Amino acid sequence: MTFYESEIKRIKESCFSNDKQIETVIGMRNYIDNNYESNLNLDFLSHTRFVSKYHLLRLFKKHYGVTPRQYLIDKRIEKSKELLLNKLSVTETCYAVGFESVGSFSTLFKTKTGKSPSQFQKEQLSRSKLRIES
């Protein structure tokens, strides 16, 4: 059981939440996890789950502590780290994870990690070389 699933279960047991709401939130998170590289927005996500976008926003924030947009950005940054470690260029990584602009990708990446994508990639690759040589 993942952290998120255990949190949902805990919240469900403490709040006696509606099962349909739980299914909606978990379904939304799973959809984002599997389609993070697509152009996702709140209108589209609410249509996929047949629920009001404002209700979806409140539910998601209540259960995960972040908005669907923040969760999507975090997922994209997480995946971009993996791609950068696999030696993809910053530009290729940017478009592979669903960002439309290298500038916005770099800014968000630096905000979330404290390093630019190229700086992160160089540091991680040099660390892996040091481990191999040791």
100-119 pLDDT, tens digit each: 999 999 999 999 999 999 99
The residue segments making up the domain with residue 91 are: 75-133
- Please check whether residues 31 and 80 belong to one and the same domain: no
What pLDDT score was predicted for residue 16? 52
What pLDDT score was predicted for residue 6? 85
- Please check whether residues 57 and 87 belong to one and the same domain: no
Average pLDDT for residues 16-26, to the nearest whole number? 75
The residues near 76 (Cβ < 8 Å, ≥ 6 apart) are: 36, 37, 97, 98, 99
Q: How confident is the model at residue 17 (pLDDT cuts 50, 70, 90)?
A: low
> Among all chains, which residue has been given the structure tokens 């160089």?
122
**Averaged pLDDT score across all residues of the chain:** 86
Of 34 and 11, which is predicted with more confidence? 34
SS3 content of the chain, % helix, strand, coil (to 5): 75, 0, 25
Model's pTM, two decimal places? 0.77
Of 66 and 49, which is predicted with more confidence? 66
Domain count within the chain:
2
Average pLDDT for residues 36-59, to the nearest whole number? 85
- Please check whether residues 60 and 12 belong to one and the same domain: yes
What pLDDT score was predicted for residue 133? 60
Q: Is residue 17 part of a domain?
A: yes
Q: Is residue 70 part of a domain?
A: no
- Please check whether residues 54 and 86 belong to one and the same domain: no
Percent residues over pLDDT 70 in the chain: 90
- Please check whether residues 80 and 110 belong to one and the same domain: yes
Q: How confident is the model at residue 44 (pLDDT cuts 50, 70, 90)?
A: confident
- Please check whether residues 43 and 12 belong to one and the same domain: yes
